[in-house]
Structure 1
């Protein structure tokens, strides 16, 4: 099992950005990085997700995902 930290925000061009910013299997490193990011980006969305290795993430009840529209590809 690993954990990832996801950072989501709206940039200066009003585009939604969602990025995976950190991954680790070490709980203390995840906690320290999350604390750092929360102080650096207090108004942004930050979330930690547990990810089992060698698994089809779409088979889980909830997994990191982003909804985008067809217009995002134009």
Structure 2
């Protein structure tokens, strides 16, 4: 089992949110210490700790880290040329 810390925020002057994984560890004490540090560093952001079993299809779990993207936004980004 590992735990990840997810950080979500809206960038200044933007209409969408950024969701990022900031830390991952199998050591629960390290995760808690890092969470407290990040909560102080980013007091306005949404932070959460997710516990994730290894070698598991996360799609089969009731709740797992995910991001909702509007259909229009997805279509715009998938049409960009490399």
TM tier relative to shorter chain: over 0.9
Structure 2 match to 1:3: 3
Q: Runs of 5+ in structure 2 lacking a partner?
A: 77-82
Determine the C-alpha separation between the residues in 1 that align with 2:28 and 2:73.
Answer: 35
**How many pairs are equivalent?**
74
Instruction: Tell me the CA shift for residue 3 of structure 1.
Output: 0.1
| TM-score, normalization by structure 1 | 0.94
User: Deviating runs (4+, > 3 A) in structure 1?
Assistant: none
Partner secondary structure for residue 65 of structure 1 = coil
Q: Runs of 5+ in structure 1 lacking a partner?
A: none
| Larger CA Rg, structure 1 vs 2 | 2
Instruction: Give the alignment's Cα RMSD to 1 decimal.
Output: 0.9
